[in-house]
Amino acid sequence: MAALFKARRALGLCLSGCRSFSALAELPDTHQILRQTCRDFADRELTPIAARLDREHAFPIKQVQELGAMGVMAMEVPEELGGAGMDYLAYSLAVEEISRGCASTGCVVSVHNSLYNGPILKFGTEEQKMEWITPFTTGEKVGCFALSEPGNGSDAGAASTVARQEGDEWVLNGTKAWITNSWDASATVVFATTDKKLKHKGISAFLIPMPHPGLSLGKKEDKLGIKATSTANIILEDCRVPLGNMLGPRGAGFKIAMQTLDSGRIGIAAQALGIAQASLDCAADYAHKRIAFGAPIGKLQAVQFKLADMNVALESARLLTWKAALLRDSKKPFTKEAAMAKLAASEAATFCSHQAIQVLGGMGYVSDMPAERHYRDARITEIYEGTSEIQRLVIAGQILKEYQA
């Protein structure tokens, strides 16, 4: 973490430059150092074990703790709370490089930073930040975010989980679905309806430790990709928490969730970029080494066109992601840009991983090579934290609002 603290202090000297769009052309030195540090870690600690973690569905405990020691599990958390105190552009760079080595580990980092630390940092009291963030900065503990339910999917406002007040406690009942990090988390942010008459304006957010009486976990889902992460239902049965465990004002839960997802989409875009980059790396390396018709297949125009198209999709999505992060760091509206970044990056990841398998041919279809894992890992980026269809709705809604104004 000391290395990130030094980078943070240097970052303060050039903050205005970092937040200008010149960073889209060339990253500031501090960000380049951070990017290289995370890339070196991924090459050394993640890439060699990613296939095993995937095969064994093994949560990367040791690697997450090492990332915590580097400050990566609390990128935006201020130093006084135990974090690295860096900006969102730095965070997106870290997630991309980690995901390039192991998409599952990148997912753990993204969920913990964006979906757990993020809403507490923005909406929590000082006491809540000390209790629910500071112990979670080292990688020893991770958090999760419980919004989705079995029956609501993209309709986040239709929460059927309820919370009623009894004396000095809230009592929660309901089931949350698809909760990433659930089996490995030490706390969760849960969204529940406190006033059904108000519909989405009657949803509130709560902080619940894990394990906790009245909270149980469903089976671990056997997923297509990101298999080293744990995903399960969180089941709440008369789960009691103190009144002080409400996050933000009563009825602010939907607002908290939507603003959290805006930021989280930049993290998922960064994860998708890492998968896309790993796919391009795999395809380009194979194109150099595979000999056919007396020469490397990289000499063939058909293969060259695939590599070119992959790189264009990747770099375009990367610039959109950096722009969204820079806007957020500048405290400017970024909802549309975050949705554009997630849409472009997730579809680039799916495209690049598909093309990598084509370049590798039969070798792309077997687990001896990483291309098939990248293909499986990429698919979820078009689904979680808002499907591609939802991103298009968000983008269109923002465009129409701009023109109406």
83 burial via Cβ count (<10 Å: 0-12, 13-18, 19+): buried
CA dist 270 and 61 (Å) reads 21
Residue 298 φ/ψ, nearest 5 degrees: -65, -15
- Report which secondary-structure segment, H or E, holds 403: helix 388-404
Dihedral of CA atoms 72, 76, 80, 81 in degrees, nearest 10, equals -70
The CA R_g of the chain, rounded to the nearest whole Å, is 21
Enumerate the active-site residues: 385
In angstroms, the Cα distances linking 104 to 275, 283, 296, 376, 403 are 10, 21, 32, 11, 40
Q: Which of 159, 182, 165, 163 is nearest to 173 (CA)?
A: 163
Residue with tokens 């970044």: 341
Beta-carbon contacts of residue 131 (< 8 Å; ≥ 6 apart): none
Cα–chain center distance at 377: 13
Residues 6+ apart with CB under 8 A from 153: none
Beta bridge partners of 217: 234
CA–CA gap between residue 321 and residue 191 (Å, rounded): 28
